[in-house]
Structure 1
Amino acid sequence: MTFEPEKLGQSRSDLAEVLRDQRKRAGRTQTWLARRCTMSQTKVSNIESGKLTPSLVDVELILEALGADEAISTEILSLARRANTEWQDHWSSRRRGLDKKQNELARLEAVSKEFRFFLLSMITGLLATPDYVRASIADVPGDQSKTVTKKLERQQVLHESSKSFTFILTEQAVRWPLLPPMAMSVQLDRLASVSRIPNVRLGVIPLSGHIPERPLNTFTVYDRRMATVETGTGALILRDHRDVAAYLNDFETYERYAIFGNDCRKLLEEWSMIFTRQR
């Protein structure tokens, strides 16, 4: 199925309406449908009112219970797929202000417990030094002081013991010289320091040996319910369980190639020294 970015995430009300119409055409009540799909009546009500976006599995169960024909099911499932996918382009984020994006991320981090970051080409804001944060948004016009402050404030979430974080960085992400050598050395020391936080696992994948994988994007998985995938012009927000499961599987694959703990810190120290000698 081809996605039109401007329509992604904007189909929830349409999905709610079409599912409600299908139930009424079948002459069934919400209570009957809930019982057939092993859902609560409240959940069915919230789906039909647009308060809750159903997963594709939920929609499949509903359509099967209602006896929808194949053509209608295909159309509704396509709509459900779009409703579970959102596109956030960089230009819109910049127009609204990157500080507002930081507020959104902070709210997401507040309600999530388990975080998995796969960092292909750069270091994420939760791990960055102030210099690295400023350099990462240097191409954005205007005063970025609020954004820098909020990015650094968000790092406090790493110390919340009720949450767990796993960061996997490629060697390219760690060593990409976004800053002058001494500042990069400080950034690598920051990574080593974060790796000692009890609820944080930080690993690196060295560019050596044989790695028969081909990662294409930086991505983050929040708990087991949402994945965000970074592209050059924006980010995809994926909520369908099959998409999330695919990225969880990718993460577990890359995790097997990563080096953690003291071995990781030893590598970071070696790379930090290389930057130090370049000054």
Structure 2
Amino acid sequence: MTFEPERMGQSSRELADKLRELRKRSGLSGVRVAARCNMSQSKISRIENGKVRPSLVDVERILRAIDAPTELVAEVSALARMANTDWQDARSLRRKGLDKKQFELAGLEAASRELRYFLLSMITGLLSTPEYIRASLAHIPGDHSKAVAKKLERQEVLYDRSKRFTFILTEQAVRWPLVPPEALAVQIDRLVSLTHLPNLRVGVIPLGPATAPAPLNTFTLYDDRIATVEVSTGVLVLRDPRDVRAHLQEFAVYEELALFGEPAREYLTSWSAACRR
């Protein structure tokens, strides 16, 4: 299925309207459909009114309950998948203010218990020093003091012992010269210090012989509910369980390749020393 970014904002409304239309065409009441789906009638109502975004499983159960025509099942399922995928283009995010995105990320972090980050090309804000954060935003015109402050504030979540974090960084992500060598050494030292937090795992994948398919994107997993994938022009937010599961499987491959604990600290320390030389 091909996604059309400009339609993604409309797909949830289209899905709600289509499900309501098909349910009415079937002659079944919302109460009857709810009973067949083992859902509450209020949930069916909220789905049909666009107040709740149904999962793909919800949609499949509703389609079976109303005996939807076979030729329409694929169409509605495609709408459901699009409704569970958001596209956040970088230009819009910048127009709204980068600090607004930080509030959204803080909300995702607050609502999640297990967070996984695969970092392909640079260090994420949660692990960054103030100088590194400022450098990461330097190519974007404007005053980013609020965004920098919010990124630093978000780092407090790392010390919440009820949450588990796993960060996997490629050697390129760690050593990319976003800041001068001395500042990069300080940034790498921060990574070393964070490896000692009991609820946080920092893994590195040093350059070496290829042992797996080359990674294509930086991505983050919030529990097993949401995957966000970063590309140069924006961010995809995926809620389809199949997409999330695929990224969990990909993350597991990189986790097998990564070094954690003392071996990771040895590499990080040597890279920091190289910067200082």
Which TM-score bucket, shorter chain as reference?
over 0.9
Q: Secondary structure at the match of 1:256?
A: helix
1:104, 1:74 → 2: CA distance? Answer: 32
Distance in 2, matches of 1:257 and 1:40, equals 45
Q: Indicate the larger mover: 161-170 or 104-113.
A: 104-113
- The residue type equivalent to 2:274 in the other structure is I
In 1, distance between residues paired with 2:106 and 2:234? 18
The one-letter code of the counterpart of 2:60 is E
- Do the aligned partners of 1:9 and 1:85 also contact (CA within 8 Å) in 2? no
What residue in structure 2 maps to residue 264 of structure 1?
A: 264
Per the alignment, residue 21 of structure 1 pairs with 21
Letter aligned with residue 164 of structure 2: S
> Which amino acid is the alignment partner of residue 180 of structure 2?
P
TM-aligned CA deviation for residue 37 of structure 1: 1.9
The secondary structure found in structure 2 opposite 1:230 is strand
Give the distance between the partners of 1:255 and 1:51, measured in 2 at CA: 38
After TM superposition, the structure 1 = structure 2 runs for residues 1-279 of structure 1, keeping only pairs within 5 Å, are 1-277=1-277
AA at the equivalent of 1:70:
T
Q: How many matched pairs? A: 277
State the Cα distance separating 1:6 from its structure 2 match: 1.5
In 1: Cα distance, 2:52 partner to 2:223 partner: 18
Counterpart Cα distance in 2 of 1:45 and 1:118:
38
Report the Cα distance in structure 2 between the residues aligned to 1:45 and 1:190, rounded to whole angstroms: 50
How far apart, CA to CA, are the structure 2 residues paired with 1:183 and 1:209? 29
Whole-angstrom CA distance in 1 between matches of 2:238 and 2:65 = 26
Over the aligned positions, Cα root-mean-square deviation in angstroms equals 1.1
Q: Which amino acid aligns with 1:173?
A: A
CA distance in 1, matches of 2:52, 2:195: 37
Query: Displacement of 1:36 after TM fit?
Result: 1.8
Measure how far apart 1:209 and its partner are.
3.4
Q: Secondary structure at the match of 1:16?
A: helix
- Give the partner amino acid of 1:272: S
Distance 2:142 2:230 in 1: 23
Q: How far apart are 1:85 and its partner, in Å?
A: 0.6
Letter in 2 for 1:178: L
TM-score scaled by length of structure 1: 0.96
Structure 1 position 238, deviation (Å): 0.5
How far apart are the structure 1 equivalents of 2:42 and 2:251? 35
CA shift for structure 1 position 42: 2.8
Distance 1:45 1:256 in 2: 45
TM-score normalised according to structure 2 size: 0.97
Q: Identity over aligned residues, as a percent?
A: 60
Aligned partners of 2:199, 2:29: CA distance in 1, in Å? 47
Q: Which runs of 5+ in 2 are unaligned?
A: none
Cα contact 1:9–1:82 (8 A) shared by 2: no
1:215-270: CA deviations, max 9, x gaps? Answer: 11000011111110000100001011111111111111110000001111111001
